[in-house]
């Protein structure tokens, strides 16, 4: 799917895109109810909606946006229109929280690719991959140039009596952290939270943070090598490792790979201690290699990590874990791969695959989460 760029003048881009996204089929040329629309048609609609969401985050001085409703006779369903209105309102809240934390974006580029289409009777289910790059506004002057992510979505379309397809549903399908252009809803997970072997303390999210200097090279571990590996494979996975995206998430598997690249040693010998192994092998993988909570328990027990009091103390090679619902069970693991001179950590991770997302961006999306910061 052709990419679309948003900038200071980007307020009309998504509307123009949707104008050509779908053309109503006339009664004389109406398609049979089982006939699929072209994949490109579905992709253009997804592109327009996702681009509109990203536009709500940009520091472009425009007035408040309204959700896409109808262009050229093609409509989002009434429920979908309401949902997009709610989404844009939520994203404007994210933008305000970002601004309060000293961060903004000046431009964005979104590309959407259709990866699967299933049409049955009057319904189409469409899988798409979104690739978005956001340009950081130079507020402090030490921000990296961009942040980016690859996310996956499922859209549903209904075929109306006039032969036109109507968007009825849109949901993210990735595990892990919700991307910055997706409104966040969190609900407590069912069941009992796991009992920690050693419970890491929560980290504060306020600035300024106490100084916690770190030597990146020349010690037991090469933290620059950890970051280099992690940034190399954030989007193109290393084929030497299995993927766990469909088995609860790949974030900790990916984190472990980066730690190994920086000098962490594998442990495969079992002892009476629980969660005492950390290894990847052709015939098996330790729970602590792939599990969010298990990684924390292992690293605390084995003294591979020490807890940091504040997330803004993290430096390159340090780890952030998040309990999105604040229910006692950690949900997601990320590595710090860049730290600005003013002390902002930037995280890279899998699920959804993300490059250099700022600590401020994560906090703005999850203001009620519990955060755990580890010095590796």
Hey, how many other C-beta atoms are within 10 angstroms of the C-beta on 114? 20
pLDDT computed for residue 29 by the predictor: 40
> pLDDT grade, residue 40 (50/70/90)?
confident
Q: Give the C-alpha separation, 197 to 339, whole Å.
A: 31
Radius of gyration of the chain (CA): 22
Q: What is the DSSP letter of 12?
A: G
pTM: 0.85
Note the pLDDT of residue 72.
40
- The token duo for 76 is 């989002």
Strand, coil or helix: 1: coil
Bridge partners (DSSP) of residue 332 are 322
pLDDT score, position 175: 86
Tell me which fold the domain 223-375 belongs to.
Answer: endopeptidase fold (from Nostoc punctiforme) (3.90.1720)
As a whole number of angstroms, the distance between CA 234 and CA 237 comes to: 7
How far apart (Å, rounded) are the C-alpha atoms in residues 332 and 311? 15
How much is the average pLDDT of 183-209? Answer: 74
The residues spanned by each domain of the chain are 4-172, 223-375
Query: What's the mean per-residue pLDDT of the chain?
Result: 85
Comparing 22-31, 117-126, 188-197, 334-343, the range with the smallest average pLDDT is 22-31
User: What tens digit of pLDDT does each residue of 9-39 get?
Assistant: 333 334 333 443 444 433 334 444 444 457 7
Predicted confidence at residue 107, as pLDDT, reads: 96
CA distance 115 to 366: 29
Tokens 């600590």 map to which residue? 359
pLDDT exceeds cutoff 50 at 158 = yes
Q: pLDDT tens for residues 260-275?
A: 999 999 999 887 677 8
Please give the CATH number for the structural domain made up of 4-172: 3.10.450
Of 65 and 241, which is predicted with more confidence? 241
């Amino acid at each position: 799917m052709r990419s679309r760029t948003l900038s200071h003048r980007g307020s009309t881009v998504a509307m123009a895109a949707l104008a050509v996204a779908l053309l109503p089929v006339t009664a004389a040329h109406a398609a049979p109810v089982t006939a699929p629309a072209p994949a490109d048609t579905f992709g253009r609609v997804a592109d327009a909606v996702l681009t509109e969401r990203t536009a709500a985050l940009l520091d472009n001085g425009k007035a408040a946006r309204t959700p896409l409703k109808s262009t050229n006779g093609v409509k989002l369903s009434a429920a979908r229109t309401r949902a997009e209105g709610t989404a844009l309102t939520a994203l404007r809240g994210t933008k305000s929280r970002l601004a309060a934390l000293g961060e903004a974006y000046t431009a964005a580029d979104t590309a959407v690719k259709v990866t699967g289409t299933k049409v049955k009777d009057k319904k189409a289910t469409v899988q798409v991959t979104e690739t978005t790059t956001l340009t950081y506004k130079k507020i402090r002057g030490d921000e990296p140039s961009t942040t980016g992510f690859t996310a996956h979505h499922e859209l549903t379309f209904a075929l109306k009596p006039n032969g036109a397809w109507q968007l009825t549903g849109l949901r993210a399908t990735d595990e892990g952290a919700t991307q910055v252009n997706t409104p966040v809803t969190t609900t407590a997970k069912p069941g009992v939270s796991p009992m920690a072997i050693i419970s890491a303390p929560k980290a504060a999210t306020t600035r300024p943070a106490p100084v916690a200097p770190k030597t990146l090279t020349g010690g037991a571990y090469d933290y620059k090598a950890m970051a280099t590996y992690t940034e190399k494979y954030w989007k193109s996975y290393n084929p030497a490792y299995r993927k766990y995206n469909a088995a609860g998430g790949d974030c900790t598997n990916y984190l472990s790979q980066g730690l190994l690249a920086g000098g962490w040693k594998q442990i495969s010998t079992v002892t009476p201690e629980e969660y005492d192994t950390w290894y990847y092998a052709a015939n098996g993988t330790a729970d602590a290699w792939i599990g969010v909570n298990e990684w924390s328990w292992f690293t605390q027990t084995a003294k591979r990590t020490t807890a940091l009091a504040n997330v803004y103390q993290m430096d390159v090679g340090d780890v952030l874990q998040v309990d999105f619902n604040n229910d006692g069970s950690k949900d997601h693991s990320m590595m710090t791969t860049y730290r600005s001179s003013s002390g902002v950590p930037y995280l890279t991770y899998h699920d959804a695959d993300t490059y250099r997302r700022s600590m401020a961006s994560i906090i703005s999306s999850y203001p009620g989460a519990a955060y755990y910061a580890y010095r590796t």
